[in-house]
């Protein structure tokens, strides 16, 4: 469904991506692993149209998106949960979710979808009128995911959802992500430093190093892989 | 007592004018972090346009047209002049808006000349003051209060009750997140400038009803408006309104009760208040410090 082919991109003179090729099959969960600065966030920024490519292409269902404006890419059904959550902290939980549905015109089903998000994350429902900046880190992560779901995406990009969260909470959020994938057939591209959590729900994984894909395999085989174990799983 | 009520009431009216122009400043500042020093001169320029239109048509029609023209100028400025310096250091945009200040001033002088333009012949605010007990309020002040109230109510509805307003607030708060939910943020910034310039035009036309319009008519108003915006908090629209009214009232009190031997006491007092407020609350009365990333 999503394919990146030989993607190159840079921030000014700094090369961020130096030939990244990734395939995400429809309804699948694909994990991208790597250390800080390996190009994980840049990869997602490129897909969302926030980082322009200098070479290569990105396609969604065979349609090139790498020259589209970010809002057009959202309209095509690609939503991102960015690193560090990036919620609208001065607005209420409900307003954050309404903004997630900005590209949609169907007011009534937006209301249904707000309830659907509250179904996945009941704590958000209890706090719907609260200022989002006052939520805990885990709740903010849930809100960020909920906001992305409000666009009714076909492809969800998740950038380090585990960042700064307690292990138990990380597991809970990953379980919910997996449940959403299973229930709605939502395709997921997940970028993570927490390789164990990510490979636990993904079918395939890619390992990035300094802007290049250095390893690609099924999640099961990556978990067994000696180098991955030493570098990312820590045993 | 009667004089006190009188001065307070007209202070609220003139404060509303500061409040409207302060709103225009705040609308731009909180969405783009640009302090638009040309706000007053843009308003002055479109007030001249309003004057020219009024020689040909009905007051309210000319007023509405002038607001639209002003909004179009604001939108064009954002697209053509401000966008290229958007990601440059703050000082660049300061220089650009100061440049716009002199450009609009020079342009107005070139087009309309130095001869003051009176709005007297077109004014719809003529007639005796309206009195209740011993306290009277002039028709112009009533007009100013009503128009200000309408402007503020419309802005409130836009920002708090509509999808578009929500998206504009989102863009002001977090551009990255706004892009990721699919808001075309460039359009929101353009719209912000258009809105601000339109609001500024309202202030300009109302100010010109009591003074003859020259190219320097709005300069002192701009100072008070900046003071109001800073006092209320540069990123808070309600703060701009409250700040404007506080300054309008304080200015009138000072002019009434401080001996006239002290020159320019109203301006001095207004700025003394700001210094004191900022010493106690650096973000202004209603301003919020920049949001912390969690």
How is chain B split into domains, by residue range? 2-217
pLDDT at B122: 82
- The answer on A129 and A71 residing in a single domain is no
Question: pLDDT per residue over A107-121, tens digit each?
Answer: 789 999 999 999 999
- Locate B289 and state its tokens: 């410090």
Can you give the residue range of the structural domain that contains A50?
Answer: 1-77+157-235
Nearest-CA residue of chain A relative to B161?
A95
Cross-strand partners of A9: A17, A53
- Decide if pLDDT at A16 tops 70: yes
- Locate A91 and state its tokens: 């607005």
* Minimum-distance CB partner of B174 among A70, A74, A88: A88
For residues B73 and A205, what is the distance between their CA atoms, to the nearest angstrom?
52
Contacts of A71 in chain B (CB under 8 A): 179, 182-184
Which CATH number is A9's domain given? 3.40.50.300
Question: pLDDT per residue over A132-187, tens digit each?
Answer: 999 999 999 999 999 999 999 999 999 999 998 999 999 999 999 999 999 999 99
Q: Which of A112, A164, A116, A111 is nearest to A140 (CA)?
A: A164
* Minimum-distance CB partner of A86 among B169, B176, B183: B176
- Contact A9/A176 with Cβ under 8 angstroms? no
For residues B192 and B155, what is the distance between their CA atoms, to the nearest angstrom?
11
Widest distance between CA atoms in chain A: 51
DSSP state of B293: P
- B294 in contact with A, Cβ within 8 Å: yes
Contacts of B170 in chain A (CB under 8 A): 88, 91, 99
- The answer on A163 and A231 residing in a single domain is yes
Complex ipTM:
0.93
For residues B117 and B215, what is the distance between their CA atoms, to the nearest angstrom?
10
pLDDT at B294: 39
- A83 in any annotated domain: no
pLDDT at B292: 47
pLDDT at B290: 58
Question: pLDDT per residue over A45-84, tens digit each?
Answer: 999 999 999 999 999 999 999 999 999 999 999 999 999 9
Q: Based on the structure, what is the number of domains in chain A?
A: 2
pLDDT at B262: 62
- The answer on A97 and A66 residing in a single domain is no
> Contacts from B103-112 at CB under 8 Å and sequence distance 24+?
B103/B38, B104/B38, B104/B41, B104/B42, B104/B44, B104/B45, B105/B41, B105/B44, B105/B215, B105/B216, B107/B45, B108/B41, B108/B44, B108/B45, B108/B48, B108/B215, B109/B215, B111/B48, B112/B48, B112/B51, B112/B52, B112/B215
Cross-strand partners of A213: A208
Continuous H helices in chain B: 2-32, 39-54, 59-77, 90-112, 139-161, 163-173, 175-180, 185-207, 219-232, 237-257, 265-280
Contacts of A85 in chain B (CB under 8 A): 294
Contacts of B188 in chain A (CB under 8 A): none
The answer to whether B182 contacts A89, with C-beta atoms less than 8 Å apart, is: no
CB within 8 Å of B129: residues ≥ 6 apart: B136, B137, B138, B139
User: pLDDT grade, residue A225 (50/70/90)?
Assistant: confident
**Residue A59: how many CA atoms within 13 Å on its side-chain side?**
13
User: pLDDT grade, residue A234 (50/70/90)?
Assistant: low
The answer to whether B182 contacts A91, with C-beta atoms less than 8 Å apart, is: no
pLDDT at B73: 97
Contacts of B163 in chain A (CB under 8 A): 98, 102
Query: Which 3 state secondary structure label does DSSP give B126?
Result: coil
pLDDT at B195: 96
- The answer on A180 and A106 residing in a single domain is no
In terms of DSSP bridges, do strands A204-209 and A187-192 run parallel, antiparallel, or are they unpaired? unpaired
For residues A100 and B177, what is the distance between their CA atoms, to the nearest angstrom?
9
Number of CB atoms found within 10 A of residue A13's CB: 5
Q: How close is the nearest chain A Cα to the Cα of B171, in Å?
A: 10
- A185 in contact with B, Cβ within 8 Å: no
Question: pLDDT per residue over A93-111, tens digit each?
Answer: 999 999 999 999 887 899 9
Nearest-CA residue of chain B relative to A139?
B294
Cross-strand partners of A4: A22, A58
- B179 in contact with A, Cβ within 8 Å: yes
Q: Which of B162, B152, B193 is nearest to B31 (CA)?
A: B193
- The answer on A177 and A71 residing in a single domain is yes
* Minimum-distance CB partner of A87 among B167, B177, B183: B177
- The answer on A226 and A168 residing in a single domain is yes
Last residue of a domain, one of A127, A152, A177: A152
Nearest-CA residue of chain B relative to A76?
B182
For residues A108 and B268, what is the distance between their CA atoms, to the nearest angstrom?
55
The answer to whether B166 contacts A98, with C-beta atoms less than 8 Å apart, is: yes
- B175 in contact with A, Cβ within 8 Å: no
- A10 in any annotated domain: yes
Last residue of a domain, one of A152, A171, A202: A152
> Measured in Å, how far apart are chain B's first and last C-alpha atoms?
53
The answer to whether A82 contacts B177, with C-beta atoms less than 8 Å apart, is: yes
pLDDT at B281: 87
The answer to whether A90 contacts B291, with C-beta atoms less than 8 Å apart, is: yes
- The answer on A164 and A59 residing in a single domain is yes
- Locate B222 and state its tokens: 């701009």
pLDDT at B293: 41
Phi-psi region of B91 (alpha: psi -120 to 50; beta: other; left: phi over 0): alpha
pLDDT at A170: 92
Q: What is the mean pLDDT of residues A15-24?
A: 95
- Contact A156/A81 with Cβ under 8 angstroms? yes
- Locate B109 and state its tokens: 């002088």
Below-50 pLDDT ranges, chain B: 292-294
Query: Which 3 state secondary structure label does DSSP give A78?
Result: strand
Which helix (H) or strand (E) segment holds residue A211: the answer is none
Q: How close is the nearest chain A Cα to the Cα of B290, in Å?
A: 10
- The answer on A197 and A235 residing in a single domain is yes
Last residue of a domain, one of A135, A152, A169: A152
- pTM, two decimals, is 0.89
Number of CB atoms found within 10 A of residue A131's CB: 15
Continuous H helices in chain A: 40-47, 70-75, 93-100, 107-120, 122-126, 137-149, 167-184, 195-201, 219-224, 226-228
- A179 in any annotated domain: yes
The answer to whether B167 contacts A99, with C-beta atoms less than 8 Å apart, is: yes
């Amino acid at each position: 469904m999503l394919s990146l082919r030989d993607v190159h991109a840079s921030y000014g003179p700094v090369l961020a991506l130096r030939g990244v090729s990734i395939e995400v099959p429809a309804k699948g969960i694909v994990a991208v692993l790597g250390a800080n600065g390996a190009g994980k966030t840049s990869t997602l920024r490129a897909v969302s149209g926030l980082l322009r490519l200098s070479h290569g292409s990105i396609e969604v269902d065979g349609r090139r998106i790498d020259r589209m404006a970010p809002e057009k890419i959202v309209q095509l059904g690609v939503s991102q949960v960015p690193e560090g959550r990036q919620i609208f902290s001065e607005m209420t939980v409900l307003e954050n979710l309404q903004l997630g549905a900005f590209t949609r015109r169907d007011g009534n089903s937006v209301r249904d979808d707000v309830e659907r998000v509250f179904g996945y994350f009941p704590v958000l429902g209890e706090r719907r009128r609260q200022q989002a900046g006052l939520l805990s880190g885990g709740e903010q992560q849930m809100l960020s995911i909920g906001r992305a779901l409000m666009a009714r995406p076909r492809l969800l990009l998740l950038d380090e959802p585990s960042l700064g969260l307690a292990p138990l909470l990380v597991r809970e959020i990953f379980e919910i992500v997996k449940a959403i994938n299973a229930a709605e057939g939502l395709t997921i591209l997940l970028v993570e430093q927490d390789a164990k959590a990510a490979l636990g729900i993904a079918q395939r994984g890619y390992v990035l190093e300094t802007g290049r894909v250095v390893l690609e395999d099924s999640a099961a085989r990556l978990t067994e892989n000696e180098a991955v174990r030493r570098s990312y799983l820590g045993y | 007592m009667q004089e006190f009520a009188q001065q307070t009431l007209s202070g609220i009216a003139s404060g509303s004018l500061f409040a409207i122009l302060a709103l225009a400043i705040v609308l731009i500042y909180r969405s783009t972090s640009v302090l638009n020093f040309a706000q007053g001169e843009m308003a002055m320029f479109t007030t001249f346009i309003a004057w020219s239109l009024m020689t040909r048509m009905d007051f309210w029609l000319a007023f509405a047209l002038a607001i639209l023209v002003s909004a179009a100028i604001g939108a064009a400025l954002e697209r053509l002049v401000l966008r290229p310096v958007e990601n440059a250091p703050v000082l660049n945009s300061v220089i650009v808006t100061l440049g716009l200040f002199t450009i609009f001033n020079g342009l107005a002088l070139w087009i309309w000349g130095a001869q003051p333009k009176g709005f007297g012949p077109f004014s719809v605010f003529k007639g005796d003051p309206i009195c209740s007990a011993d306290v009277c309020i002039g028709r112009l002040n009533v007009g100013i209060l009503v128009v200000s109230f309408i402007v503020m109510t419309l802005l409130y509805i836009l920002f708090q009750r509509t999808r578009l307003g929500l998206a504009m607030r989102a863009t002001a708060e977090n551009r990255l997140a706004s892009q990721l939910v699919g808001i075309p943020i460039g359009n929101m910034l353009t719209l912000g400038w258009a809105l601000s310039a339109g609001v500024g035009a309202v202030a300009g036309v109302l100010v010109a009803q009591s003074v003859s319009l020259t190219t320097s008519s709005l300069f002192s108003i701009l100072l008070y408006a900046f003071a109001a915006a800073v006092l209320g908090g540069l990123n808070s629209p309600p703060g701009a309104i409250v700040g404007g009214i506080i300054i309008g009232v304080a200015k009138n009190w000072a002019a009434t009760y401080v001996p006239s031997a002290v020159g320019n006491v109203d301006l001095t007092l207004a700025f003394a208040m700001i210094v004191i407020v900022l010493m106690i609350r650096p973000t202004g009365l209603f301003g919020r410090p920049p949001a912390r990333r969690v």
